[in-house]
Amino acid sequence: MFEKKSFTVPSFFESVMRVYSIFSSVGAIADEGHFVNMAFSPDSHYFMAGDISYGRTSLGSFSAEKALAFDLQEKKPLELKGDLKQLAMGSFAFVGSAKVIGNHYSDAKKSGLYSFPEGDVIERFSVPMTSWKSTTQGKYVLVSSAGQLRGAAFRLTDKKYFRPGVQPLLDVFENTGAAETPNGEIALHDLDSGLVKTLAIPENPLGRLYAVALSPDLSSLALSGSVRGALWNLDQGKMVVYVRGFKGAGFADDGSFYLDFPARDQALRTIAHVDPTKGEILRGPDVKASGAKQYGSVLVRARPKIQTKDGREFMDWSKGASELEVFDARTMEVLWSQHFAQEFPSFSPDGVFGTMVLGWAASSKAATAEIQNDPNLSKRFHKSNDSDNDYLFKVIDLKTGKALGQLVVETGGRAFRIVDVVVSGDFFVAMDNQNRALVYSLASGALRGRVFGNRATLSSTANLLCVENESGQLTFYDLNSFEKRGQLNFAERVRTVRFSADGKRLAVLTAGQAVYTFDVATLAAQ
């Protein structure tokens, strides 16, 4: 219907922050559309957009101001009259289809309410520097940017803000504001009287999980989405603790869960200690190590070498990461760190099995040095033209950094690519892009066997490998003979699979918000 190319040029900082917000686990999944101020009128009659791009060329810095409007019924562009272009570049929201409220970009005194598409001034008034969002119906607009007013309703008739409840308002109809409650219901607030009614909504399938952890005996579960989290006693089938969302979870030797709560309001990021039997929550140490992510009972971060300039410490990322640090989640003390003078490896921590797998291209300088310093590995590995596509994997203990073993995975000239790994004891399981789980001996480097499937987990105690070959289907194989030992089929997607520490039980969490436990001996005998 309409296209306008190169409408905006995101700056380097904008691009980096957008990628970080999407792929990090620090916050909720990022909304789209924030590079450009743009919105449809509530009746879908009009569209308006505005943007100011900043950049730098060899001739110096520049800025570009752009704004446009489009009539979706007539299917033709509209001329922006009066000060509408300045509102589009500042921030704006439609009020019905005939008015626009906004911040005037070049002159704050001209902010206020304008007719659309005529561009005539209806009323000028002080408008805070914020982002606006239209409501479905009524004399309100919503504040959509961050800050204390986020999620507040602004009433145009008397210029008052309404922010009932804890959570931000999502929409307003006439004089009723709707918001999500902390426990997942819908609150309907009467903005005049302050009265509130709640509506329960049906349970939905589990979406993105920000954290999940099970106790070794499978008696307790910690689970969190982006907003809410909880702990369950699975033996009794009841919720023990209901809390705001956490971004990491691990079960420690002292019998407590350690949950990574991100910063919120005035509270700093912390690792809380939770007793799953009593439901007691104790605030732990603040997490001051930026970029650290929790894996089980530790936190891991990669960083460049810390430099000192004018008495201040800073991290110079221009040459990439060179240090791995592992912190104790209970105390945030450094358990170990390692410096990599040559190529920095890919790293895959595993809080369940307590291992970390470091990976390099087998032809890299770092891998060549590791292979030469390992007599057994240098005997087994013979460099060839195809070795550029092979992998060197080194397995270390997650809590101590002690090396547990290393091996080379040969790909036959990149016939396949490794996408994930899991290690327990002598079993090194590599999952590839051909939907296969390849099982190697960590001690000898020999390929023990392969099966079709992904999302592998295993129990060296029960001598079983579990893979998901298709959605909802779990298949179990003997780790010595690779004969099929059993199969489970679920109507919903499988989200998490765990063997108990003694290998006698299996827990399966599905997208249907159900946890199933099975006797492994009975399962393997099917």
Band of residue 420 on the pLDDT scale cut at 50, 70, 90: very high
Which pLDDT tens digit goes with each residue over 62-80?
667 889 999 999 999 999 9
SS3 track for 288-334 = CCCCCEEECCEEEEEECCEEEECCEEEECHHHCCCEEEEEECCCCCE
What is the mean pLDDT of the segment spanning 347-352? 94
CA distance 285 to 269: 9
**Fold of the domain built from segment(s) 209-339:** Lipocalin (2.40.128)
Is the Cβ–Cβ distance between 274 and 264 less than 8 Å?
Answer: no
For residue 318, what pLDDT is reported? 73
**329: pLDDT strictly greater than 80:** yes
Q: Taking phi first (over 0 means left), then psi (-120 to 50 degrees means alpha), and beta for anything else, what does residue 299 get?
A: beta
Is the Cβ–Cβ distance between 55 and 62 less than 8 Å?
Answer: yes
What is the average pLDDT score of the chain?
88
For residue 321, what pLDDT is reported? 85
For residue 295, what pLDDT is reported? 95
CA distance 463 to 453: 17
**53: pLDDT strictly greater than 80:** no
Q: Look-up: residue for tokens 């603040």?
A: 286
Tell which wins on pLDDT, 20 or 207.
207
How is the chain split into domains, by residue range? 12-199, 209-339, 345-451, 453-526
* Class of 453-526 in CATH: mainly beta
Band of residue 381 on the pLDDT scale cut at 50, 70, 90: confident
CB burial of residue 157 (10 Å; 0-12, 13-18, 19+):
exposed
CA distance 455 to 436: 10
**29: pLDDT strictly greater than 50:** no
Band of residue 384 on the pLDDT scale cut at 50, 70, 90: low
Tell which wins on pLDDT, 45 or 64.
45
Q: How many residues does the chain have?
A: 526
Distance of CA 295 to the CA centre of its chain: 14
Which range (145-154, 305-314, 410-419, 467-476) has the least confidence? 305-314
CB burial of residue 132 (10 Å; 0-12, 13-18, 19+):
buried
Q: Which amino acid is at 115?
A: S
Tell which wins on pLDDT, 44 or 53.
44
For residue 28, what pLDDT is reported? 42
Domain 345-451 has CATH 3.30.1390.20: no
